[in-house]
Amino acid sequence: MTTGYITHRDCWLHDMGAAHPECAARLDAIEDRLLMTGVMDTLRRLDAPKASVYDLELAHSRLHVAAMRGLDHMMQDELQAGGDGCSQIDTDTVLCPHTWNAALRAAGAVLLATDQVMSGALDNAFCAVRPPGHHAERDKAMGFCFFNNVAIGAKYALNRYQLKRVAVVDFDVHHGNGTEDILASEPRALMVSFFQSPFYPNSGEVAKGENMVNIPVPAYTKGMDIRELIDMLWLPRLEAFKPEMIFISAGFDAHRDDDMGQLMLNESDYTWITRMVMEVARRHSNGRVVSSLEGGYVPAALARSVEAHVRVLSGLD
């Protein structure tokens, strides 16, 4: 089993301010853990390229992409003039002078992973990138997200490789409203997710399309209950859909130690979920899986959870 680990140092440079939970220390914690445990030695590390504007427009409107690029140009000019070069999108989401490049690398990582997996050079891949993406809607940046990395990858796989069916699995504590917004009208895509509700972004209770399998769960739901719901609701839909490729929005903030949410998963739950996805991929997708980091904001819990996830991807567990 050949698993790619795709990242880029530009992803460390995106900075939304002191004490912001979505910070470069998240990637440091992941890399330290994978190195310390020896898992990194089993992975093929690749540098993420920059996605093109055309790639971004697979999932986003031309106006949204142009607005983000325009803000970047304004910030670079402000920085040259002695300002801080930052622009507030919402209360939690800030562009800095390095955000544009980091966001292009984050999307580009998923595109490279798709190419590598489709060519057979990799069996699957994990993209250790930031900013995350699953809250970014077709026309809107929000919730720490600027471009929707996984939705871009899914659209790219459908268009570039003429796949007939792709699935997105989202196990972040927050509803992937952006991915739903982009893919709900796409009959070639199926999205399955669970998320805490009511909770940010206060969406997902009513699905936007029949190709959305949304599982809202209350705070303090335990991992075994999540597993039962996945077994009853996700897996039959995935089996019936027979995806030719699976993308994972891998958020680890549903961990019981992560104070961003109030769900009660642990590392063994992420191992089990990843195994279930891999089994579907083996049956229907030639094992083709591309996973991309979303949430997870307590570094130690995030690092342990990513290790559990990557161990399954790489065949170590």
For residue range 154-174, list pLDDT tens digits in order. 999 999 999 999 999 999 999
Judged by DSSP in three states, 286 sits in coil
216: pLDDT confidence band, cut at 50, 70 and 90?
A: very high
1: pLDDT confidence band, cut at 50, 70 and 90?
A: confident
pLDDT of residue 50: 98
Query: Which tokens is 290 given?
Result: 């591309």
Q: Which residue has the tokens 């089990």?
A: 272
What structural domains does the chain harbor?
A: 3-313 (3.40.800.20)
Output the pTM of the full model. 0.98
Query: Which tokens is 145 given?
Result: 């997200």
pLDDT of residue 79: 80
**46-50, 85-89, 215-219, 296-300 — which is least confidently predicted?**
85-89
Query: Which tokens is 21 given?
Result: 């939970």
Percent of the chain with pLDDT over 90: 95
Higher-confidence residue of 278 and 83: namely: 278
In order, the DSSP letters of 226-275 are HHHHIIIIIHHHHHHH--SEEEEEE--TTBTT-TTS--BB-HHHHHHHHH
194: pLDDT confidence band, cut at 50, 70 and 90?
A: very high
Quote the CA–CA distance of 122 and 234 in Å, as a whole number: 26
Quote the CA–CA distance of 119 and 125 in Å, as a whole number: 13
What's the mean pLDDT in 267-272? 98
Which of 70, 55, 61 has its CA nearest to residue 108?
55
With beta carbons less than 8 A apart as the criterion, state whether 138 and 181 touch: yes
pLDDT of residue 92: 94
Percent of the chain with pLDDT over 70: 100
pLDDT tens, 110-152? 999 999 999 999 999 999 999 999 999 999 999 999 999 999 9
pLDDT of residue 85: 73
Task: Tell whether the model's pLDDT for residue 78 goes beyond 80.
Answer: yes
Query: Which tokens is 203 given?
Result: 């969406």
What's the mean pLDDT in 78-84? 80
Alpha carbon distances (Å) from 206 to 150, 174, 309: 22, 15, 29
Length of the chain, please?
317
The sign one gets for the Cα dihedral 148, 207, 296, 156 is negative
pLDDT of residue 157: 98
Task: Tell whether the model's pLDDT for residue 193 goes beyond 80.
Answer: yes
b/e for 16-25, b at 16 or more Cβ within 10 A?
beeeebbbee
Query: Which tokens is 109 given?
Result: 């990582």
What's the mean pLDDT in 256-260? 97
pLDDT tens, 286-303? 999 999 999 999 999 999
Q: What end-to-end distance do the CA atoms of the chain give, in Å?
A: 12
pLDDT of residue 167: 99
Task: Tell whether the model's pLDDT for residue 75 goes beyond 90.
Answer: no
Query: Which tokens is 312 given?
Result: 């399954």
Helix or strand run (H / E) with residue 190 = strand 189-196
What's the mean pLDDT in 42-54? 98
Task: Tell whether the model's pLDDT for residue 83 goes beyond 80.
Answer: no
> How would you class 288 by CB atoms within 10 Å of its CB: exposed for 0-12, middle for 13-18, buried for 19 or more?
buried
Helix or strand run (H / E) with residue 212 = strand 212-217
Judged by DSSP in three states, 18 sits in coil
Radius of gyration of the CA atoms of the chain, in A: 18
Query: Which tokens is 45 given?
Result: 């590390």
